[in-house]
Amino acid sequence: MIRNERIQVTAERLARFDRPGPRYTSYPTAVEFSESFGADQYLEHLERASELKDSPVSLYLHLPFCEERCWFCGCNVIITRKTGISDRYLESLEREVRLIASRLKDRRQVNQYHWGGGTPTYLTCEQIEHLHHVVREEFQFTPDAEVAIEVDPRVTTRDQIALLRKLGWNRISMGVQDFTPEVQEAVNRIQPFDMTKECFDACRAEGFGSINLDLIYGLPYQNPESFAQTVEQVVSLRPDRVACYSYAHVPWIKHNQKGIQPEDLPAREVKVELFATAIDGFLSGGYVQVGMDHFALATDELARASASGSLYRNFMGYTVMPASDQIGMGVSAIGDVREAFAQNTKKLPIYYAAVDGGRPATEKGYALVGDDALRRDVIMQLMCNFRVNVPAVEQKFGIDFRRHFATELESLKRGPVADGIANVEGGVVEVTEMGRLFVRLVAMEFDRYLKQPDAGKPTYSRTV
C-alpha cells in the first residue's frame, strides 16, 4: 500500500495500472499521423480555416535551439552554440509565417501565442524582436490574448526579460524539474534555486503577472523527502501556476535519455508518492489542482476555468483561451486545423527546402474520420475536467451514448470502476479523486486505436 493517504492503492493494483498509454495532448494521438497527409492536404484545411474570418487562431512557434542537452528532455531540440545556425533558421521561419498568413487570408486574429522549444531565449534580443515584428506584421492580437514564452533561467538575461515584456509578452514559463543537486547532476541540468529565483524575481520586477514553473517527478534519485523540499521552495516563490509532469522514459524514441540509467529511476510506488507529495505541498500552499498534472492559485483564470468545467487542452497544454484552430510553425511543430493534425518535418534541410520553396513543411498528419471527433470530445473532457456530461455529448453529436459506447462502458465497469478510479452513474462518467493520477487509464477506454493490434514495438510512456 502506498503510504500517502491521498493515494490509497495496493502494490498489486498499481502494477496493473502501470502500462504504456498516451498523454492525450491530441486525439487521435501523434502515433496515428501518416505521411499520406502532406502539404497539399494541409493547404486544403488552411483554406477551410480561412473562411472563419471572425474566429481567432492560436499560434505556436518552435525554436529548437539549446546550448546544452538535458538527459530527460523529450522535445525536438538542436544542441549548438553556433549562432549562425539560428540565423538561417529564423530566415526560413519568417518565410513560413508569411506563407501561412497568406493562406489564412483575412483570418489574422490571434488569442493565444506561444514560443516553445528548445530554448526561445537562446536567441539574441535582436533576433527576438525581429521575429516578433514579423509575426505582428501578419497577425493582430486580441486585447486579451495570451502571449507566452518558455525561458531557461540558466541562459535568460535581464535584458531579454525586459524586452519580452516591452513587446507584449504576458506569461513566462520556466523549467525547474528539481532543485536537489544529486538529481540535477543525474539529468545534466545544473540550476540552483538561487539562479531560478533571480530569474523569477526579474520577471516579476518587469511586470509579468503570470509565471509558470515546471517540475518533473520520476527522475533519477528522487525521493519524497527531497522532492517535498523542492515543492516547498517552489511554493515560496508563489508562481501563478505549476506544472508537475511525470517523467516519460522513452530512450527508444529520445536517444539522449540513454544517459539516464533505468536502475536509478524511482520504483513505481515511489513515483506515485512523489506526485502525492506534490499534491500535498501545493494544496497546503494555497493552490488547487487543475487537470491531471497542473496546479494554480485559486485566483488564477486556469483555476477558475477548472472549477467551472471550461478548461481546454491542446498541444500548448491546459488553457482557457481555446481557438478553433491552432497553427504550428517551425521544425517539428504540430497544427490542429479544421479537424486535421499537421506536423512539420523534424529535419532542418527538408524544412528549409520546403519553406524556401513556398510550400508548407508538412511531413505527416491525420484528418479525423468516423467518430474521431466524438471520442476526442469525450477524452478531452476527462483529461481537462475529470468528468463527461453524457446528455451534453448526446445533444452535441446526436447519439445514444450508452448504445454507442456499450463496449467501452462495460470495460469501464470491469476495470477503472472496479478499481475505484472512475464512476458511471446517471448521466455522468466521472474520475474519482484518487483516480485523477490515473486519468489516462480512464481516457484510454474510449480510444479506439488502442484496441487495434500493433507490432509489439514500444510506443507510449508508462501511465505510472
Per residue in 181-235, pLDDT tens? 999 999 999 999 999 999 999 999 999 999 999 999 999 999 999 999 999 999 9
Q: Tell the residue number behind the cell numbers 474520420, with chain if given.
A: 369
pLDDT of residue 193: 98
Angle between helices 39-50 and 83-104 (to 10 degrees): 50
pLDDT value of residue 318: 87
Q: How confident is the model at residue 10 (pLDDT cuts 50, 70, 90)?
A: low
pLDDT tens for each residue of 392-423? 999 999 999 999 999 999 999 999 999 899 99
- Residue 455's pLDDT is what? 43
Inform me whether the pLDDT recorded for 440 exceeds 50.
yes
Please indicate, yes or no, whether the overall pTM of this predicted structure exceeds 0.95: no
Position 288 confidence tier, pLDDT thresholds 50, 70, 90? very high
Give, in order, the Cα–Cα distances in Å from 75 to each of 66, 69, 150, 273, 336: 11, 10, 13, 26, 18
Residues 282/295, Cβ–Cβ less than 8 Å: yes
Contacts of 278 (CB under 8 A, 6+ apart): 215, 217, 227, 231, 244, 295
Checking if the pLDDT of 275 tops 70, the result is: yes
Average pLDDT, rounded, for the chain: 92
| Domains located in the chain, CATH noted | 22-327 (3.80.30.20), 372-451 (1.10.10.920)
Tell me, what's the pLDDT at 82? 79
Average pLDDT over residues 170-181: 97
